Amino acid sequence: MTPAVHRARIAGLVLAAGLLAGCGIAANGGDTPTPAITPQVSLSPTLQLCRNQLTTTLAAAGLPLTQPASAVRPGESPLLTAAPRTVGQVILPADPDHGFIVLYGFPDPASAYAAAQQQAAYVGSGEGRVQFVPDSQFVLRQDGSCVLFYAWSPSASTDPRSPDIATVLGTFGVGIDVPR
């Protein structure tokens, strides 16, 4: 056996041991970090740019975007769950518990598109749909390396501006259809 083959086998064994150890930690709920339930404190340049564009888009329609007072985590597909994100809220005077918009950042537009497609399939499926009120409507948009997600329900929202948010968000980036 040549030294190169020997080193390759050792490297393979070390890699395999690391993968198995990692699976054991995740399966046992060890020290594996869990996704945060609050927005990022410091945004990546990509997320900051998308948030600035979103703030401008909403403000032009008289819908100011603010930092929510509480942690928000909507039903998400695995790719969105793992992505860096920021949450904003359009204040709805008659419905202060709604109006949340989540922006997710990805390394490139292709991975953002894949994540948006996965989210569309997720919220369109039985597994994802049960996490929302039955008449929920979804706005899922991609703008470059960012994905935007907004869900609202005509039966659960008591503020007449909730559909206005969805309409304005329809001008942000490119729409991703959610199957019914």
pLDDT digits (tens, 9 = 90+) for 108-166: 999 999 999 999 999 999 888 888 989 999 999 999 999 999 999 999 888 888 999 99
Collect contacts of 50-54 with beta carbons under 8 A, ≥24 apart.
50/103, 50/105, 50/143, 50/144, 50/145, 50/146, 50/148, 51/86, 51/88, 51/103, 53/143, 53/172, 54/88, 54/101, 54/103, 54/148, 54/172
15: in domain: yes
- Return d(Cα 110, Cα 7) in angstroms, integer: 36
- Give pLDDT, residue 108: 97
Least confident range from 5-9, 69-73, 96-100, 106-110: namely: 5-9
Would residue 80 be called left, alpha or beta, if left means φ above 0 and alpha means ψ between -120 and 50 degrees? Answer: alpha
Residues 98 and 129 occupy one common structural domain: yes
CB contact at 8 A, 78 and 121: no
Residue 65 shares a structural domain with residue 134: yes
- pLDDT beyond 90 at 17: no
* Domain shared by 8 and 76, yes or no: no
Number of domains in the chain: 2
CB 165 within 8 A of CB 131: no
pTM beyond 0.85: no
**Residues linked to residue 100 through DSSP beta bridges, in sequence order:** 89
Burial of 129: CB neighbours in 10 Å, binned 0-12, 13-18, 19+ = middle
Dist. CA 14–CA 43, nearest whole Å: 35
The answer, yes or no, to whether residue 33 has pLDDT greater than 80, is no
Whether 119 is in a domain gets the answer: yes
162, 92 Cβ separation under 8 angstroms: yes
Q: Is position 91 within any domain?
A: yes
Pair 160, 78 in one domain: yes
User: Please, is 111 exposed, middle or buried when counting C-beta atoms within 10 Å of its C-beta (0-12, 13-18, 19+)?
Assistant: middle
Domain hosting residue 6, numbered range: 1-33
Query: Is residue 56 domain-shared with residue 125, that is, in the same domain?
Result: yes
